[in-house]
Structure 1
Amino acid sequence: MSPVEQQQDERDARWSTYPNSRTVLAVVHNITAATRLFDVLGVLASDPRIRIEFSRTGSSAFDADTSGFLEARGARETPWRTALTQSFDLAVAASYGGELHRIQAPLAVVPHGMGYNKFLAANRKSQIANHVESPVFGLSEEWLMYDGRVVPSLIVLSHSEQRDRLLRSCPEADPKALVAGDICFDRLHASTPLRATYRRAFDVRPQQKLIVISSTWGRDSLLAVHPELPRTLAAALPADDYRVTLAVHPNVPAHHSRWQLSEYLSGAARAGVHIPDTVDDWRTALVAADLVVGDHGSVSFYGAALGLPLLLATAPTHTVDPGSPIAQLLTAAPRFDESADPTHQIRSTIADHVADRYAEITTLTTSEPGCGAAVLRTALYELLDLAEPTEPAELDALPLPRRPITGPDSHVVQVVTGSDRTATITRYPAESLRAGTSPRPGTHLAAGVREPRVRWLQLADLVIGGAGNDTERWITDTLTRMPGCAWATAPESPGRWLLGDGEHLLRVDGSDHACRLFASLAYHLVARGGTVPDLAGRWTMHCGGEALSVTAIETTERKATRSSAGKP
């Protein structure tokens, strides 16, 4: 029995259920690194011979919320100072920094993004004082060596080009390097057969385009250079043709706080931008996406590697190694022009794109496509001096997203009527009115009640309510309290809505989406001289590439009147 095994027995033998004979220390720097650690540890975690303990180094500037992240995953922490006094059979990290040299175990370090690309100094004060260029994070002596020795026992690289750069910048570390592929990208690629499934789970309709806006962290990132871009882009797009989701690097909320980030993005959320609940949702969104608007972060590169069109909102080539794949992509990909028509840019970028446009660059994602788990598992079991399981190393497909992408709740609406009781309806997020403008002539404001601005309620021509009891009374009371609003509508039951103007009441049968659209059609027709009885019957509306139909009946049970509000 090894000393480590003996120590393990002394600590846990009396209480252990599983026959653990090896102990692995998962070294956690921050949430970003932790997400990649969970990918990597999956090749070990189901083996009953192995026990995994987690410990935070406390060295990262972005350590905030990391403990809560681990707790939410059900992982138990060992205090870092305690971990440094104990011996382990293996330690695995997904970042550098902190007292890694003090760990009493062979240390394997994996990348936490798309390889190693960015310049980053371990000692920022030293860099400024000496006016030197930052070393490449993860490939330089500054990160890999301590007191003249290479700290990791295993330096995991995703592609052989990284080994070439490692050999140039820190030749002493080359014997420790292993090109093992990219487990994260392998999961992304392996999940592409479920693209239609993810889109359905996001409630993205087949004809809609899903845009992923991706921002890494720091002063050169998309959110730093163009902090309003998520809001302004979503507000400028036809709301029924597009869905927009945001992929924000976990270091951003770690520094600014989740509350502060949600406030910064509140306008974007009102414009319909989906703000994911978890740090993993970006992967599912990327598989489901039609286009990425990004920067020099890994998400942009992974999107291009999946064959997606890419527009760069910022391309800070000075922040990355000029010999890296990211640098090549920043040079090759087109720029997003905030001063130009965003709808035209997005449509033309998608229409003109060919899936292998960046293939010469994105082939540098991994040297072991589809084999990352197998190669890495073999290396880790060798370090553990433990026989590998006989079953093959496999990855799980990405989980379904937790929430649908709902889009905005309030809209500026344009209606164009056709013949034979048809209409074409185009809606834009009401957030487009943020500059203080009123709806353009020929349009109207349909305000939802989910999260309206007070000014939207003041300008609303139509208010749209949610599900609840006594819909007819809600319509009457709401219109009495909003004298400038012409119509109100809300669901009465699944597939049936009520629509009223304070004097007349219509019962409308159709999908929720169709009933909301019909309310805008009704407002448009009556505002232009039509009568409520003219609204009765079947209507077909074309919106966002779909044809939706409703049947409207003017009810005679009890007509709503504004004066009856508040009376029994």
Structure 2
Amino acid sequence: MTGCKRVLVIVHTVTYGKRLRDVVSLLEADFRVQVLFTAPPHEFGGGVAQFLQELGSVVLPWNEAVRMDFDLALTAGPRRVEEVRAPVITLPHGANYLKRLVGVGTGVSGSYVFGLGRPDLVPGGRALPAAVVVPHRDDLRALARSCPEALPVAAVVGDPAHDRIVASLPLRETYRRALGLRNGQKLIAVTSTWGPRSLFARIEMLLPLLSGEITRNGEHRMALLVHPNVWAAHGAWQVRAWLARCEHLGVGLVPPEADWRAVLIAADWIIGDHGSVTLYGTLTGAPILLAAAPEQEINPDSPAAALAVTAPALSAAHPLSEQLSYAAAEYRREDYAPIASRITSEPGGFNRNMRRLMYRTLGLGQPAYEPVTRPLAAPDPLPLPVSPGPLDSGDVEVTTYRAPLG
């Protein structure tokens, strides 16, 4: 198409790509707009090429993309975005702005909230983005502390994953059937972010607890959701090798390209850490157990900090069945509602607000129809557990995991 406005989608990692896929869907069916994708070099960029290929998108090599002019660029991460010749809209890649970083080597003293700090928004003193998307009005306080010059371009837009999860909650039984759960069977979703303080960094110690008596009686299934950065840093073969006994132990390993949101909705319990997926679990009504919540990594003003002092902590010293029963008995939806409400101050409004922001930046009028929030597609079935047995020559033992740094 000639005469189109050109939009560049910058996909550093699979995690960023998943978030941006929801955003660019708001440009569908508009013949005035051409969307192109690019992938900057990134240490967690493994899997991005396959992700973009499955989208069927036009992918520009990074060194070509930075020599071209675009009418808009969308990004969920800061790396090398200042090289792009376009008005840039930045978005969080997960729930809220949960993590803080110590400003070592960045020219920033102390710590700052990742995604809202000056190193992320004006690296090297470059020009401000056209817009900085925040999901909640309270995030403006963190922005005022870490990069006050960005306040004039901040836009309180909302959270796409929040809205799609809420829209999909009525389909819970559909998702449970798609996953292969029998009537009465319970699902435990185990969710991990990445890094040396994540749940997965302790997986060797936790795996016997997670896959002990609770899954052997057939009344429970377990799904393990590991952050795509872990898969990217170590490779799919290595992650599967570390967890090769999961099938025998009744744990279903969900691949990084799968949509975790339907699995979360289907869960009866959630065991997680300080990552976004665990926080989104507060929307589902499932009791939550925290296996890791490192204070030094959590933005103290974020809902993750509130969750860390509300959800009970998982203990390796007690049977999992007892802890699940305790979490269910102690769970009160009203305790978690304020945490869930802190994910976004624009519930149900992301599509409307984000589309308005993009079209204003493009200098185009919006399409004359309401941007509907679609329910999530049904997930693929969980792998069936295999009866425990001795290792044969083709099996790989679970070995020690070394968490990627960064």
TM over 0.5, yes or no? yes
Counterpart pick for 1:102 among 83, 97, 103: 83
CA distance in 2 between partners of 1:320 and 1:20 (Å): 46
Instruction: Give 1:228 shift.
Output: 4.1
Q: Which amino acid aligns with 1:101?
A: E
1:317 aligns with 2:295: yes
Could you tell me which residue of structure 1 aligns to residue 92 of structure 2?
A: 111
Please give the secondary structure, in 1, of the residue aligned with 2:35.
Answer: strand
Could you tell me which residue of structure 1 aligns to residue 198 of structure 2?
A: 221
Counterpart pick for 1:86 among 59, 62, 68: 68
| Contact 1:144 1:152 (C-alpha < 8 Å) held by counterparts | yes
Q: Give unpaired runs (5+ residues) of structure 1.
A: 1-15, 411-429, 431-446, 456-568
Instruction: Give 1:348 shift.
Output: 2.4
1:31 aligns with 2:14: yes
Could you tell me which residue of structure 1 aligns to residue 352 of structure 2?
A: 374
| Contact 1:92 1:108 (C-alpha < 8 Å) held by counterparts | yes
Counterparts in 2 of 1:48-87, with a 5 A limit? 48-58=31-41, 60-87=42-69
Query: Structure 1 residues 314-323 or 215-224, which shifts more?
Result: 314-323
Q: Which amino acid aligns with 1:26?
A: V
The alignment's C-alpha RMSD in Å is 1.9
Counterparts in 2 of 1:431-470, with a 5 A limit? 453-454=391-392
CA distance in 1 between partners of 2:90 and 2:309 (Å): 29
Could you tell me which residue of structure 1 aligns to residue 147 of structure 2?
A: 170
Counterparts in 2 of 1:241-280, with a 5 A limit? 241-280=219-258
| Contact 1:86 1:104 (C-alpha < 8 Å) held by counterparts | yes
CA distance in 1 between partners of 2:167 and 2:268 (Å): 17
Counterparts in 2 of 1:471-486, with a 5 A limit? none
Please give the secondary structure, in 2, of the residue aligned with 1:214.
Answer: strand
Please give the secondary structure, in 2, of the residue aligned with 1:26.
Answer: strand
Counterpart pick for 1:337 among 315, 318, 324: 315
Counterpart pick for 1:141 among 108, 118, 130: 118
Deviations 1:177-229 (A, max 9, x none): 00101011111110011100000111212312111000100000001033342
Distance 1:400 1:95, change over 3 A: same
CA distance in 1 between partners of 2:201 and 2:358 (Å): 39
CA distance in 2 between partners of 1:164 and 1:200 (Å): 43
Distance 1:398 1:287, change over 3 A: same
Structure 1 segments of 4+ aligned residues over 6 angstroms from their partners: none
Distance 1:42 1:231, change over 3 A: farther
Q: Which amino acid aligns with 1:22?
A: K
Distance 1:327 1:247, change over 3 A: same
CA distance in 2 between partners of 1:339 and 1:150 (Å): 52
Instruction: Give 1:66 shift.
Output: 1.1
> How many residues are treated as equivalent by the alignment?
392
Instruction: Give 1:69 shift.
Output: 1.6
Please give the secondary structure, in 2, of the residue aligned with 1:156.
Answer: strand
CA distance in 2 between partners of 1:374 and 1:61 (Å): 34
CA distance in 2 between partners of 1:79 and 1:177 (Å): 30
TM-score by length of 2: 0.92
Distance 1:390 1:162, change over 3 A: same
Deviations 1:299-341 (A, max 9, x none): 1100013322110111101111212221121122110111101
| Contact 1:109 1:156 (C-alpha < 8 Å) held by counterparts | yes
Query: Structure 1 residues 236-245 or 274-283, which shifts more?
Result: 274-283
Deviations 1:119-163 (A, max 9, x none): 236x86x26xx9954422111111111343543111001011111
Counterpart pick for 1:235 among 188, 201, 212: 212
Distance 1:301 1:388, change over 3 A: same
Distance 1:71 1:228, change over 3 A: farther
Tell me which structure has the larger Cα radius of gyration.
Answer: 1
| Contact 1:231 1:267 (C-alpha < 8 Å) held by counterparts | no
Instruction: Give 1:384 shift.
Output: 0.6
Structure in which a larger fraction of residues adopt strand: 1
CA distance in 2 between partners of 1:230 and 1:160 (Å): 39
CA distance in 2 between partners of 1:138 and 1:20 (Å): 34
| Contact 2:307 2:339 (C-alpha < 8 Å) held by counterparts | yes
Q: Give unpaired runs (5+ residues) of structure 2.
A: 394-406
Instruction: Give % identity.
Output: 37
TM-score by length of 1: 0.66
CA distance in 1 between partners of 2:89 and 2:191 (Å): 29
CA distance in 1 between partners of 2:267 and 2:281 (Å): 9
CA distance in 2 between partners of 1:144 and 1:192 (Å): 35
1:47 aligns with 2:24: no
CA distance in 2 between partners of 1:319 and 1:383 (Å): 34
Instruction: Give 1:79 shift.
Output: 0.9
CA distance in 2 between partners of 1:233 and 1:312 (Å): 13
CA distance in 1 between partners of 2:49 and 2:380 (Å): 22
| Contact 1:213 1:230 (C-alpha < 8 Å) held by counterparts | no
Deviations 1:95-121 (A, max 9, x none): 1111x1221111011111001121236
Deviations 1:365-422 (A, max 9, x none): 111101111110011000011110111011221111122452x221xxxxxxxxxxxx
Q: Which amino acid aligns with 2:18?
A: T
CA distance in 1 between partners of 2:262 and 2:193 (Å): 17
| Contact 1:243 1:405 (C-alpha < 8 Å) held by counterparts | no
1:307 aligns with 2:288: no
| Contact 1:230 1:273 (C-alpha < 8 Å) held by counterparts | no
CA distance in 1 between partners of 2:108 and 2:159 (Å): 34
Instruction: Give 1:87 shift.
Output: 0.7
CA distance in 2 between partners of 1:261 and 1:298 (Å): 21
Instruction: Give 1:231 shift.
Output: 4.7
CA distance in 2 between partners of 1:49 and 1:259 (Å): 42
Could you tell me which residue of structure 1 aligns to residue 158 of structure 2?
A: 181
Please give the secondary structure, in 2, of the residue aligned with 1:82.
Answer: helix
Instruction: Give 1:170 shift.
Output: 1.0
Instruction: Give 1:342 shift.
Output: 0.7
| Contact 2:247 2:383 (C-alpha < 8 Å) held by counterparts | no
Distance 1:352 1:146, change over 3 A: closer
Counterpart pick for 2:184 among 207, 224, 235: 207
